């Protein structure tokens, strides 16, 4: 990170198209459980939306329907 400290930059993350409220941990965890179950996998624990939920990251999305 020392190399990057001399530059000014922004990290931009594209939000997915699943129309879920990732700030609501219950909604996010239920979504992940369902998504993994469709693939025959099991999801246990808590999830975070990364990189969009990380400090200093700008998250963008397309609102056109």
Q: What is the pLDDT of residues 12-42, one digit of tens each?
A: 888 777 777 777 888 888 888 998 999 999 9
Length in residues, the chain:
65
Mean pLDDT for the stretch of residues 35-53: 85
How far is the C-alpha of 62 from the C-alpha of 42, rounded, in Å? 30
Q: Which two tokens stand for residue 36?
A: 């993994």
The count of other CB atoms within 10 Å of the CB of residue 41 is 10
Rounded to the nearest integer, the mean pLDDT of the chain is 79
Instruction: Write 19-26 long-range contacts (CB < 8 A, 24+).
Output: 22/49, 22/52, 22/53
Amino acid 65: pLDDT: 63
Residue 49 and residue 22 in contact, taking contact as beta carbons nearer than 8 Å: yes
């Amino acid at each position: 990170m020392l190399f990057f400290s001399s530059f000014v930059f922004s990290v931009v993350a594209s939000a997915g198209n699943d129309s879920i409220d990732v700030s609501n941990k219950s909604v996010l965890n239920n979504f992940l459980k369902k998504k993994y179950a469709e693939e025959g996998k099991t999801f246990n624990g808590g999830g975070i939306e990364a990189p969009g939920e990380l400090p200093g990251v700008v998250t963008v999305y397309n609102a056109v329907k």
